[in-house]
């Protein structure tokens, strides 16, 4: 029996730096993410039971109900998720603090008779989630960023481009994404971004500071302008210039 195809909005979350913490700590931070996401959905007046939840090991994928306006996956859901993770990090030990990368996309997905879902939109979602601009964004700020999100160009045009409440265009930074065979324009959102929403950095001082991921440099202190370097790491360099156009230079095209 052929799958049933429906246009759906998709949200993927992944815990940054989850490897190497051991099975027990991994289960704890997975529980923190699921609880924070559930609370954020509730605060955004969304019923978690209406979503298809797919566990990905160190994260999850959500398939939104067909009737849900796509903008509801952004505001107030993402700020609410960030607030809950930030609050958890303020009181948690270093080994169970977390940062979360999120990717948002939409498209025709297939629903198989056995309840599984599949389709090309999930491939794009995975590439966005694994992209260098998003990995760089999650490391910005003096104490790390609780949630950084990336939107596909399609999702951006259908939500931010229409000017829905809470979705200011200046809160998003353009980025060129290239992961394996996937290459596309996308849009970043993260608290404290050079052109994004501001947060009270005082809440993150002291015990709330997150350790940097292996192989990365410590974040630069203080506020940043849109002309400043965002991050240099590994084989890519990300810059934010002018009103947020972001260009990624890859030293290794493999």
Q: Mind listing the pLDDT tens digit for each residue in 204-225?
A: 333 344 434 433 333 333 333 2
Confidence (pLDDT) at 117: 95
pLDDT, greater one: 198 or 6: 6
Q: Compute the average pLDDT of residues 138-144.
A: 69
Q: What percent of the chain has pLDDT over 70?
A: 73
> Mean pLDDT, the chain, as a whole number?
78
Q: What pLDDT is stored for residue 2 in this prediction?
A: 85
Specify the range with the lowest mean pLDDT, choosing from 30-44, 80-94, 212-226: 212-226
Question: Is 238's pLDDT higher than 60?
Answer: no
Q: Provide the pLDDT confidence category of residue 8 given band limits of 50, 70 and 90.
A: very high
Quick one: tokens of 252?
């290794």
Comparison of pLDDT for 154 and 202, the residue scoring more: 154
Give the pLDDT confidence score for residue 201 in this predicted structure: 33
Q: What pLDDT score was predicted for residue 69?
A: 94
Confidence of residue 162 (pLDDT cuts 50, 70, 90): confident
- pLDDT recorded at residue 192: 58
- Tell me which CATH code domain 4-201+217-250 carries: 3.30.70.1230
Residue-level pLDDT at 131: 95
Q: What is the pTM of this model?
A: 0.75
On the question of pLDDT at 95 being above 50, the answer is yes
Q: Which whole number is the average pLDDT over 218-244? A: 31
Give me the residue spans of the domains in the chain: 4-201+217-250
Give the range among 111-125, 189-203, 216-230 with minimum mean pLDDT.
216-230
Tell me the pLDDT band of 83, cut-offs 50, 70 and 90.
very high
């Amino acid at each position: 029996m052929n799958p049933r195809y429906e246009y759906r909005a998709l949200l993927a979350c992944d815990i940054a730096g989850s490897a190497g913490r051991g099975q027990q700590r991994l289960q704890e931070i997975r529980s923190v993410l699921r609880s924070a996401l559930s609370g954020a959905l509730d605060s955004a007046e969304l019923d978690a039971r209406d979503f298809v939840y797919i566990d990905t090991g160190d994260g999850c994928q959500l398939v939104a109900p067909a009737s849900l306006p796509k903008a509801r996956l952004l505001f107030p859901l993402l700020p609410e998720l960030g607030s809950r993770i930030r609050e958890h990090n303020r009181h948690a030990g270093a080994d169970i603090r977390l940062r979360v990368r999120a990717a948002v996309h939409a498209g025709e997905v297939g629903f198989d008779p056995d309840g599984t879902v599949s389709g090309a939109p999930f491939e794009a979602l995975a590439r966005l989630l694994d992209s260098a601009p998003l990995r760089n964004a999650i490391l910005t700020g003096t104490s790390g960023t609780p949630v950084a999100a990336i939107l596909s160009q399609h999702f951006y045009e259908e939500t931010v481009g229409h000017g829905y409440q809470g979705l200011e265009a200046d809160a998003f930074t353009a980025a060129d994404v290239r992961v394996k065979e996937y290459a596309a324009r996308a849009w970043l959102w993260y608290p404290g971004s050079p052109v994004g929403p501001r947060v009270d950095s005082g809440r993150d001082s002291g015990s709330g500071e997150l350790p940097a991921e292996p192989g990365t440099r410590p974040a630069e202190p203080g506020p940043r302008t849109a002309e400043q370097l965002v991050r240099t790491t590994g084989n890519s360099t990300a810059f934010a210039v002018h009103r947020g156009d972001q260009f990624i230079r890859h030293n290794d095209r493999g």
